Chains A and B, each alone.
Chain A
């Protein structure tokens, strides 16, 4: 297994356009997280899934943001009508939750979004 992968690694878009990012977690992991990281800051939680169910969403996740994990495997994060303030690194992480609790989160390399 090669770990968590994200695609694309970089995205430049014009304000007002829609963008979609993909995250492929570690195959046996049942939990998947999305975070946003701006320059000089730590990651901020956006949302997470347990299998295909979206269990929590941060107040940071405006109605322009939507995330899916249709079959409990890969996930997509879509941003509609992008704004310059959406420019950030979008991180995906996955973990395995079992009877003994949750294992550590494994992070992907991130997708850097630049909105011009």
Chain B
């Protein structure tokens, strides 16, 4: 079945550091790819998405490019802030429903 693998956390960075969170996937078809973020005490929120190969999703300074050849969707941000501290989930969907699959999440802590 479909699956998503993320780099293990926690990831601890200083403010203004560069962030990369790796995400790779396996899927039988051609899924859409997502990054969700969960801030402390809040529900999951969609951060960005890409629906086909070579698409780049971007939001709030975060970017991720759909790489079909490497089955990856790595999340990057050039300069993190303390307010970016959260858990980040990579996910894929072949057609929603039970084909919506999340990775285990990566906790990011940004220190001032």
The chain B residue sitting closest to A61, CB to CB, is B98
Which residues of the other chain, B, contact A106 by a CB distance below 8 angstroms? 43
CB–CB B105/A40 < 8 A: yes
Contact B100 A45 (CB under 8 A): yes
Cβ–Cβ contact B98 & A58, under 8 A: yes
Contact A45 B97 (CB under 8 A): yes
Stretch at the interface among B14-22, B44-52, B70-78: B44-52
Q: How many A-B residue pairs have CB under 8 A?
A: 50
- Cβ of A99 within 8 Å of any chain B Cβ, yes or no, is no
A91 on the interface (CB 8 Å rule)?
yes
Name the contact of B49 in the complex, choosing from A56, A58, A104 (C-beta under 8 A). A104
Q: A45-B97, A107-B45 given; name 10 further pairs at CB < 8 Å.
A: A33-B100, A42-B4, A43-B44, A43-B89, A45-B100, A48-B96, A48-B97, A102-B96, A105-B46, A107-B44
- Given the complex of chains A and B, what is the CA–CA distance between A55 and B105 in angstroms? 27
* A109 pairs with B42, CB closer than 8 A: yes
Contact B91 A42 (CB under 8 A): yes
B96: A residues at CB distance < 8 A: 31, 48, 95, 102, 105
CB atoms of B105 and A41 under 8 A apart? yes
Residues of B within 8 A of A (CB): 4, 36, 41-46, 49, 89, 91, 96-98, 100-105
Query: When the two chains form their complex, are residues A91 and B43 in contact, meaning their CB atoms are under 8 A apart?
Result: yes
Q: Which residues of B contact A102 (CB under 8 A)?
A: 96
Alpha-carbon distance between A44 and B4 when the two chains are bound, in angstroms: 12
Chain A 65-84, CB-CB to B under 8 Å as 1, else 0, gives: 00000000000000000000
In the complex, what residues of B have CB within 8 A of residue A104's CB? 46, 49
A window 27-47: CB within 8 A of B: 31, 33, 40-45
* CB contact under 8 A between A55 and B97, given known A41-B104, A42-B104, A43-B102: yes
